[in-house]
Amino acid sequence: MKIIGTGLSGLIGTRIVELNSDLDFIEISLEKGINLLDLTTLETIFANNPEATHVLHLAAFTDTNAAWEQKGDTRGLCYQINVVGTQNIVKMCQKYNKYLIHISTDYVFDGQKKTAYVETDLPNPLDWYAETKCLAEKVILDSKLPATIVRIAPPYRSKFDTKVDFIRKIIAKLKNNEVCQLFSDQITTPTFIDDIALGLRQIIDKPVPGIFHLVGSSSQSVYQAGLLIAQTFGFDPKLIQPSSLADYLSTPNARPYAPNLSVSNEKFVKTYAFTPKTLTEGLEEMKKQLNN
């Protein structure tokens, strides 16, 4: 099976390729000299690969701090890549009859809900990155293109030198005996990237149109996540100290953060009979992989 993919050289994309080595991926990326904003080049890729059945669209501007600096700028890279780039991919999928699998984010929610977010909850993005990702979802939904929108939550993996995820950032600090101050009043749903890679394969093999949350099977505060990391990897738990998101948000010019990003994967589990790991399970598997 041949898949056209964007963002396959990134934190998640490289693992998708590694764990699905039987698939033939055609990569669209700057590393391959292909710009998502260059419709002429995209046209050539799609025209030259008529046998490709799916497009896996991971490419995105994900630097949330840099995105915040571009707030409201539709000419900025964040908007151009996340919205215009998605518009271009949708156009190509429509013209060349491809099934689109689009990667989105839990950041589309404002975090005010008291229980876990499900796919039918209405997005209400708080920052510019989230807003552009929400707009990208709207582009796809409005197009009526056969597509699956896959929302993921903070991804982590064992090894990837090019980009360090938040779990490995905490591990690196603990290795140096540095104190980690982590929000005790912000809930998150970390997701093991191997599960994203294997879960996406389920969608590739059996596409079901609509929105799915492909996220980890446990939610906890960032502080609790830090304690689990210390426990799993044998670090001093006293290095993990609680701090307050509410206090941070009360400071001048604070970038908004959603307090509750507990996200339910129940729809995905029921549809595909595939259950992503809890954070405890993911950290144990990560430890095993690092020791091999």
pLDDT tens per residue across span 215-250: 999 999 999 999 999 999 999 999 999 999 999 999
Per the listing, tokens 């939610």 go with 219
Contact 217, 226 (CB under 8 A): no
Which among 61, 35, 60, 20 is positioned nearest to 193, based on CA atoms?
20
Of 253 and 200, the structure prediction assigns the larger pLDDT to 200
The 10s digit of each residue's pLDDT in 145-168 is 999 999 999 999 999 999 999 999
Rounded mean pLDDT of the chain?
Answer: 96
CA atoms of 208 and 202, how far apart (whole Å)? 10
Q: What is the domain partition of the chain in residue ranges?
A: 2-291
Q: Is the pLDDT of residue 33 over 80?
A: no
Residue 3's DSSP bridge partners are 25, 54
Question: What CATH topology corresponds to 2-291?
Answer: Rossmann fold (3.40.50)
Whole-structure pTM over 0.85, yes or no? Answer: yes
The 10s digit of each residue's pLDDT in 58-85 is 999 999 999 999 999 999 999 999 999 9
Q: How far is CA 161 from CA 11, 27, 118, 190, 211, in A?
A: 9, 20, 33, 19, 31
DSSP annotation string for 167-200: HHHHHHHHHTT--EEEESS-EE--EEHHHHHHHH
Which among 220, 84, 224 is positioned nearest to 153, based on CA atoms?
220
